[in-house]
A and B are shown apart, each in its own frame.
Chain A
Amino acid sequence: MRNSFRVAAVAAGLVTVLLGATACADAVSSGGGSGEAGQCAPEDVQLVQSGRGLDNEYYVAVDAAARAFAASQGLEDNYHWIASDGDSSKQLRQIKSILAKGGECVVLNVDANESSLVPSIVKEAENAGAWLVTQWNRPDGVAPETSDSPNWVAHMSVDGVPQGYETAKALFERMGGSGSIVALQGILDNPPAKERFEGLQQALEEYPGITLLEDQTAEWSRTSAQDITQTFLTKYPGQIGGVWAANDSMALGALEAIKNAGQQGTIAVSGIDGLSEAIDLVQDPASGYVATSQSTAAAQAAFGLAIGLAAATGQIDPSSEPAEHRSFYLKPLPAVTPDTASSLPDPADISGFDLTDIWSEVGGPIT
């Protein structure tokens, strides 16, 4: 407690320190909330969404969808967006100061900057008695259902295997089921990168006519994907029929390299993530961009906050929820192909969800 007090003092200055001191006292008197369901009145709840930064289309949609959810609950003024800007210590500091102010009625929906940060965030939430839902990242072997306290309500992620599999299938179909492809991977130790690549390999097994010439990591980056694809095109002249990429940024970089080589339309490209630029290209048959996936931003934002809110207000008692409600993948969505691209909802649109059932988008357990 003294340690966090000191950090808060440095970070937030004297005024916040005084507020923080009273909040800490509150947390102590409520006994750290262990084993108890939340008892907050809905209007007292602070909804906090934390992600990387608004320089990224996905997080722009996450923020918009989270705000829309807050508005749907009449809590628009209680909604906060905090950007980590890729800085783990900044993210932890921001979460600490918000918890110091809001205490046990804070609902956090956090995309942790890196897996190893999750235990610290969980500890902060437990100490304050606040309600935490995590997204995407967490270290292996650490899960809400195995933790002692109810404060880490749930962990939600998106299964990359069906995404990689569906987009690969669309790519192979466009190639007529035969030919050679190259693959661009994400940062190799990222779980989504691993899962998506595994999905590609599943699809390759079903299409014996397709050969994977080579895979390389372009680390999610558009520029390196463009450079690597350019090199692939000189390494395998006339052999490449398709480029499978683990996200849209890399697929767009690959497409740019293909364009500059004068081969647009003859080489098919697929990505994942559902960036608006990619969805526009999928609708244009001449572009060669054949598939991407649907954005999961809205579901992650709205259901993440909804589950946390249900815990804070005592609607659910996290400790008595089954394990598949506490660590789960969202329901897989079909790939975006030329047939479906024009009828997609906005990535921040939450109107299609049944938010009265907070478990309605639960797909399967995270294994």
Chain B
Amino acid sequence: MMKRTLTGIAAVMVAALALTSCSSSGSSGGDAAAPAGNVPLKIGNFLDITSWDPALADIGFDGPYLSAIYDPLVVVDGEGVPQPALATKWEVSDDFKTITMDLRDDAVFSDGEKFDAAAAVKSLDYLKAGVRSQEAYQNVDSFEAVDTDTIAIHLKKRDDTILYFMGLGRSYMMAPKAIDDGSLAKTPVGSGPYILGKDTVAGAEYHFDKVAKHWDSKDFPFDPLVISPLSDPTAMLNGMEGGQFNVIYGDQTAIDTAAANDWNVSSGLSAWVGLQFTDRTGATEMGKPLGDVKVRQALNHAFNGPEMLKAIAQNNGAATNQVFPDGTTGNLSKLNDLYKPSIETAKKMLADAGYADGFTVKMPMAPPFQPYQAAVEQVFGELGIKVTWDEYQFMDYMAKAPTYPVFVGVISMDGNAVATVERQITEPQWYNPTTSLDAFPDIKAQADKVFSADPGDAQNKEIEALNEMVTKEAWFDVWYQSNNSYVSTKEFTVTPVTGMMFPTLRHIHLEG
């Protein structure tokens, strides 16, 4: 009996080895021969697609998946500037309340329906009603098909960010019949450069078949195209080293490994890291000290952001003390020296504010923020600030953190300066439920100037003035801004987009 068992084991092992040596499954083959004129692209994304229905999708990591199936009306470039896609050009009316768009007339949905103004309006109405996509269309009154290849977006009030949000992934056009069927989440139907392939294994490997006559086929030379979600950075790097991927979302280890493998690394700013004040007026008992601008400024002096960037983020980011992405409109390099790191200065300012012995504060903590916990304890300790931590799971952190007067934040940034004004300063967000604008009339007035200034230089000037005010008022304690990075084999480069965790296929290019 034992002999039979052992023979059986040997047979299974021989079979496995034989299969190993001859099989060419969908999982392997990063170095497989490419069909002439096309280049295989196998992407290791960080998360699985939220939904194939653009109205239900997240824009964070859904970019590459959705951009394969759907064409957007507008796409943003690496600077966050809206660029034409299915909308070839657009005009904003003098009162800023109507946007008129010319549409392509050569796009066809994969079910055979033609893309036209009526289809665009249907998609936009659907997106406006979508639970997740509605964020882009808060100020829209209606969409109108002016003629077969022209639409008008009528706004309830001026909205300088709508084109930016549409370009981030909120203007994917869907086939009208699929919208009516309610079948998009299962069977996506777009006019994009690919259709979902039958070899797809949900959650593991999404295979895409190239559309033969796509209107923009030259920008999509990727064939075969495979996108795999892998939430583990080590797994992603292993897949890259094993030849299974040629573009991945890279962590520091992947970046360090890139040079030895002759891989490209593309990095773009994605979030600011520091202390988020939620009680800037000292309205709560515990947050009372933070209502004093000297205390907030003292905390800005106390933390050595550039050193934290080196030590914690391995220099993968930018040393700046502002919420506007470094090197973009709004960010002022002259302000970076405003709070020179000095614990002595911080102590003196706290003493001037009446807190020479510090104060007591409770803060939330969750596993992703633990790298910063020691730095906060050390700095607060030197200032005499006694901090106690309430531990949460990451998901609870989002709900609980804003209930504390101050918390360690890694807050996403936008590549559009007006969007930054809205999301960081004027509009309530999960991390900033009470904007405090009413308590700072000068800042409120300056924000109003931003929203009423003519787009372009005049508006940019007002944005810079606003940033200077909030930075001087120490509305935030920004230690540094961190990067998102993408590692690719040498045939590819990736254009990072601030505001997108993973760029779309339009941001992945062939070298040369």
Q: Do A and B come from one complex?
A: no
Instruction: Give me the interface of B with A, judged by CB distance under 8 Å.
Output: none
Instruction: Give me the interface of A with B, judged by CB distance under 8 Å.
Output: none
